[in-house]
Structure 1
Amino acid sequence: MNKAELISAMSAHSELTKKDSKAALESMLAAITKSLSEGDQVQVNGLGTFALSYYPARAGRNPQTGAVIEIEGANKPVFKPAKALKDNL
């Protein structure tokens, strides 16, 4: 399911128009992105938790030359599904 299909499904399961469903989805995604960028985690009951996880710097190799390179550490978003979501699947 892509974003357009999700918007259509949201519209079909609620009394919202597709335009309102799109605005709601984009608003939710913007709020999650903003919270993660501030270092907070977002917990949605029944769905799961969005958080940042720090991956430290490490050594890697350039596949073309075989030279050793340093890969910088980075914060990456992670999602941990809630028990209710896992049980429904």
Structure 2
Amino acid sequence: MNRAELVAAVADQTGQTKADAGKAVDAAFTVIAQALAAGDEVKVPNFGSFSVADRAAREGRNPQSGEKITIAASKQAKFSAAKGLKDTLNG
């Protein structure tokens, strides 16, 4: 499902126009991203939780030349599915 299909499904479920549903979908993802950037965890009951994990700097190799390179430390978004979502997926 891509963004347009998600917006159409939200519009059908809520009775909103596609334009209003698109604004709502964009706002939801923006709020989640801003909360994660601030270091907060976002929990959605019966769906799951979003959190941020730190990745340490590490040494890697350039696949073309084989020379060693340093891969910088970074942050990574993580998602953990809730029991309700797992139950829905597994019937």
Q: Which amino acid counterpart does residue 19 of structure 2 have in structure 1?
A: K
Unaligned runs of 5+ in 1: none
Q: Which whole-Å deviations, capped at 9, do the CAs of 1:25-70 have from their partners, x for residues lacking one?
A: 0110110011011000100111110110111111100011100111
The match for 1:24 is: 24
Q: How does 1:27-66 map to 2 (within 5 A)?
A: 27-66=27-66
User: For residues 42 and 14 of structure 2, what CA distance do their matches in structure 1 show?
Assistant: 24
How much has 1:15 moved relative to structure 2? 1.3
> TM-score if structure 1 supplies the norm length?
0.97
Q: Which amino acid counterpart does residue 43 of structure 1 have in structure 2?
A: K
The match for 1:77 is: 77
User: For residues 45 and 21 of structure 1, what CA distance do their matches in structure 2 show?
Assistant: 21
Moved over 4 A (4+): none
Across the two proteins, how many residue pairs are aligned to each other?
Answer: 89
The match for 2:87 is: 87
RMSD between aligned residues: 0.7
How much has 1:20 moved relative to structure 2? 0.8
Unaligned runs of 5+ in 2: none
